[in-house]
Structure 1
Amino acid sequence: MREVLRAEGVDVVRDGTSILQEVSLTVRAGEHWALLGANGAGKSTLLSLLGARVHPTRGSVEVLGRRLGRVDLRELRTYVGHVDPRHPLAEPLRVRDVVLTGLTNSVAPLPRWRPTPEQEERAERLIATLGLTELHDARWPTLSQGQRGRTLIARALMPEPRLLLLDEPATGLDLPGREQLIAALDELRREHPTLATVLVTHHLEELPSGTTHALLLREGRVLARGPAAHVLTSDQVGKCFDLPLALERHQGRWTVRRA
């Protein structure tokens, strides 16, 4: 499968403080990566690099075959779906209108911009895939956190990106909301077999069963990376979080407890 992302020997230094050190990662089409680590490990910084939002201090990052530093980041970001649960929407937009803003990469609809019938049809398909059909005309302030999260995933997929980045998408969700989100991500995997995803979390219970690979970050360095079954072990995850842990996997989902 073709490469979607490649980071080699990446360092990020901010105000004299090292955030990431010698991080390397390759993501290919159809792979679904989990990026795990304790708070402050550098997960969100790495995701920002992969999403072409910031430049590395040292090393190289290629996103969709384009090297950061040699390409317009604003243009490149239009090919990457980035889901942030802290989406700064203040207007009472309907679900369908929020989803359509993914085409203009704006928080609110742009003046005088109108979607084509084909774009409206795509929005409806994505709304259905994310289990939001009955909320098609619901207003943003009335949505639960989980419903907002699924709306933002549909929004991110509107430009048909090859890469979807999810920054702790289950933040603030109750149990039903989390499970609906995870089911929606697994449905996406089935409907878009070449889509690559990178999901940041520090809770293994939030990982979809379709997770294929994992990277463990500890204090800005890669502790382990590769196929999920080889990386997500009691020993390695315990080292990552500096706690003796026992992991189990049942029907593709992980559970964890203190050993």
Structure 2
Amino acid sequence: MGVVKQTDELVTDPDLLVDMRDVTFVRGGQTLVGPVTWQVELDERWVVVGPNGAGKTTLIRMASAQEFPSSGNVFILGERIGATDMRDLRAAIGVTSSAVAHRVPDEERVGDLVVSAGYAILGRWREQYEAQDYDQALEVLEQVGAMHLIDRTWGTLSDGEKKRVLVARAVMTNPELLILDEPAAGMDLGGREDLLAYLGELAMDPDAPAMVMITHHLEEIPEGFTHAMLLDEGEVVAQGLIDDVLTSDNVSHAYHQPIEVTRDGGRYFARRARAKRGGAHRA
């Protein structure tokens, strides 16, 4: 494969949207992630799974150009973190996360929140948008089952409704890389299944961007995801093709208790394999 970027003799491949090499992230003397070596290619859909405190969100913040690694090298969309303008990178990445949700004013209208994403701003001020911008915003809101929310304000939405709107905002930009931080958290069963059906369709669309999703629950992995990474205490338990990673043995290792993993109709399910007094789960 050809090389498109070279910085201080470090090179990355044009097919790699995320290229992490021996990356660590340290805060307060504690290693939160690493060392991790990880690559995401153009046509891959990754899910990152692990217990609380595993380092999932920290890893994804580096992958979305929100954080610098403490050591190692990170290339995002062909650009080396620390040697490029992070703002330009962030504009090409669609992100849904609680951090984005907390920045939205309660009085922000849903339609304005989504349409403004195409201009890399949070919410509408005095900008004028074209008819095609509104048409695209309507389309993505309908796709995620949130069309009925278009005239509602952010502060009136439930947690599940906010998740749908954030997904619409993230795909509004036609990003090169789509990062979803627990997109189905807080949704009721019907809302979750509607959203996962949409994300599954998106994952199986060959023209869709590369996708990386964080979840605590295997049941929330949409169909069409191709790869998985299991994390525990900042270290990689397993990574690679999803069927090879999401096994009972690997998931049991990551969660420190016997977990039985099954697959049905392209979806994964997990449950404790046997009763054990007291349990071994660590919060």
TM-score norm. by structure 2 comes to: 0.86
The percent of aligned pairs where both chains have the same amino acid is 39
The residue that corresponds to 2:133 in the other structure is 119
What are the superposed Cα offsets for residues 28-73 of structure 1, whole Å, 9 maximum, x if unpaired?
1221111011111110000000000011111111111011011011
Within 5 Å, give how 1:83-232 maps onto structure 2: 83-86=96-99, 87-88=101-102, 89-110=104-125, 112-191=126-205, 193-232=207-246
The residue that corresponds to 1:82 in the other structure is 95
Q: Contact conserved, 1:167 with 1:199, CA < 8 A, in 2?
A: yes
Give the 3-state SS of the residue equivalent to 1:96 in structure 2: helix
Give the 3-state SS of the residue equivalent to 2:145 in structure 1: coil
What are the superposed Cα offsets for residues 200-255 of structure 1, whole Å, 9 maximum, x if unpaired?
11111111112111001111111100010110000001001111111100001111
Give the 3-state SS of the residue equivalent to 1:214 in structure 2: strand
Q: 2 CA distance for matches of 1:191 and 1:97?
A: 27
The residue that corresponds to 1:35 in the other structure is 48
Within 5 Å, give how 1:241-252 maps onto structure 2: 241-252=255-266
* Offset at residue 138 of structure 1 (A): 3.1
The residue that corresponds to 2:71 in the other structure is 58
What are the superposed Cα offsets for residues 153-187 of structure 1, whole Å, 9 maximum, x if unpaired?
11112221111111112222222222122112113
Q: Which one has more relative contact order, counting CA pairs under 8 Å at least 6 apart?
A: 1
* Amino acid corresponding to residue 109 of structure 1 in structure 2: R
Q: Contact conserved, 2:19 with 2:40, CA < 8 A, in 1?
A: yes
Task: Answer yes or no: is 1:11 the counterpart of 2:24.
Answer: yes
* Amino acid corresponding to residue 140 of structure 1 in structure 2: W
Give the 3-state SS of the residue equivalent to 2:74 in structure 1: strand
Bigger shift: residues 100-109 or 215-224: 100-109
Bigger shift: residues 212-221 or 88-97: 88-97
Structure 1 residues not aligned, in runs of 5+: none
Q: 2 CA distance for matches of 1:137 and 1:225?
A: 42
* Offset at residue 114 of structure 1 (A): 1.4
What are the superposed Cα offsets for residues 132-154 of structure 1, whole Å, 9 maximum, x if unpaired?
23333333334332222111111
* Amino acid corresponding to residue 18 of structure 2 in structure 1: L
Q: 2 CA distance for matches of 1:243 and 1:193?
A: 39
Q: Contact conserved, 1:149 with 1:181, CA < 8 A, in 2?
A: no
TM-score norm. by structure 1 comes to: 0.93
* Offset at residue 191 of structure 1 (A): 4.7
* Offset at residue 4 of structure 1 (A): 1.2
The residue that corresponds to 2:276 in the other structure is none
Q: 1 CA distance for matches of 2:184 and 2:136?
A: 25
Q: 2 CA distance for matches of 1:167 and 1:92?
A: 24
* Offset at residue 92 of structure 1 (A): 3.0
- For this pair of structures, how many residues does the alignment match? 258
Q: 2 CA distance for matches of 1:183 and 1:141?
A: 26
Q: Contact conserved, 1:145 with 1:177, CA < 8 A, in 2?
A: no
Q: 1 CA distance for matches of 2:114 and 2:206?
A: 18
Instruction: Please say which structure displays the higher CA radius of gyration.
Output: 2
Q: 2 CA distance for matches of 1:69 and 1:44?
A: 20
Q: 2 CA distance for matches of 1:191 and 1:109?
A: 30
* Amino acid corresponding to residue 154 of structure 2 in structure 1: W
Q: Give 1:71's match in structure 2, choosing from 63, 81, 84.
A: 84
Q: What RMSD, in angstroms, separates the aligned Cα atoms of the two structures? A: 1.7
* Offset at residue 190 of structure 1 (A): 4.2
